[in-house]
Amino acid sequence: MNLRAAKPVVLNVSAKKWRRRALVYGGLLAGLWGFYVWQPWEFDFVPRQPPLPNPPVDPDSGRLFLKGARVAVITAHPDDSEFYIGGVLTKLHADGAEMYEIVCTDGDKGYYPFSHPEALGEVRRSEQRNAAAVWGARQVDFLGFPDGRLRVNDETIGAVESRLEQIQPEYVLAFDGDYAPRFSHQDHRRAGDLAQIAARRVPSVKWLLRFSTIAPNYAVDITDEWDAQKALLALHRSQFSGDHLTWIENMVGSNAEADGERIGVDLAESFRCSRLHG
Ligand SMILES: [Zn+2]
């Protein structure tokens, strides 16, 4: 009798242990997934593959770097333009391009707990205006969509499209939403998607040049513009200062070195270019 009674007790203990483990690990996984959904970065669990073949494309670069070329830069946050394409913007300015910038979010990092979003947003927008003035932007538009939560919908597409209609650019420089780096900010991807959809609707846009891409087909030598780009990065004091600024400069510099290798120069910035109209 005793032996018969003992067996189910052992089984019950084991079942309880497994149930507890399942609850703990399940809770942990749910917590991790919840954190992933809350934070604004995106990871491709299945890596994207660049298109094959991916031949070089010249986006009428003679026209792009000619005085009077109309260029719209579309980013997600204050500091994106200086971080990703500060060298090219400096070069375009020196060559006499007419440049405009559209920043999709308000840059307040409002999703961070314990922060002061309004004050931070104001500082970052002011830093962006200062930096854009250095590379010669005639106008900086902040569309004011929530930082970290940029979405692609009729409202956001319409906002970008109406700015492009006003600006009438020939060239749009924007993030690559289709071939973003495997681990990248979701706002960058969404800003790239928005730029692409809106630019296709505006006939003045002849070329779309996408930066922060894993599928580049064009690169610009920015060796001579490197010091200017570093100075632009330093203008974003609320984001990059001291050791962090040095770390950021090294990161941007090593990306530029890798892009430079593609075209046999010291430093470059690369793009995925597509002709849209004309
Ligand atoms: Zn950004």
pLDDT per residue as tens digits for the range 157-172: 999 999 999 999 999 9
Q: Where in 37-182 does DSSP place strands (E)? A: 41-43, 70-75, 98-105, 137-145, 171-175
Is pTM beyond 0.85 here? yes
**81 CA from centroid of ligand 1 (Å):** 9
Q: Calculate mean pLDDT across residues 139-162.
A: 97
**70 CA from centroid of ligand 1 (Å):** 23
Neighbours of ion ligand 1 (CB under 5 A): 76-77, 80
**What confidence score (pLDDT) does residue 164 get?**
98
pLDDT greater than 80 at residue 155: yes
Residue 146 C-beta-side C-alpha neighbours within 13 Å = 8
Q: Calculate mean pLDDT across residues 61-76.
A: 97
Long-range Cβ contact pairs of 238-243 (< 8 A, separation 24 or more):
238/120, 238/123, 238/124, 238/127, 239/79, 239/124, 239/127, 240/79
pLDDT greater than 60 at residue 138: yes
**123 CA from centroid of ligand 1 (Å):** 15
Residue 105: φ, ψ to 5°: -105, 170
**114 CA from centroid of ligand 1 (Å):** 20
Lowest-confidence pick of 26-40, 55-69, 118-132: 26-40
What confidence tens digit (pLDDT) does each residue in 82-117 have?
999 999 999 999 999 999 999 999 988 877 776 788
> Between 1 and 188, where is the model more confident?
188
Is 201 strand, coil or helix?
A: coil
**143 CA from centroid of ligand 1 (Å):** 14
**Integer Cα distance of 37 and 57 in angstroms:** 37
**71 CA from centroid of ligand 1 (Å):** 20
pLDDT greater than 80 at residue 13: no
Q: Calculate mean pLDDT across residues 25-39.
A: 90
**2 CA from centroid of ligand 1 (Å):** 69
Q: How many CB atoms within 10 Å of residue 243?
A: 8
Q: Where in the chain does DSSP place strands (E)? A: 41-43, 70-75, 98-105, 137-145, 171-175, 183-185, 207-211, 218-221, 268-275
Instruction: For residue 157, give the nearest of 207, 195, 123, 183 by alpha carbon.
Output: 195
> Between 14 and 113, where is the model more confident?
14
Does domain 63-275 fall under CATH 3.40.50.10320? My reply is yes
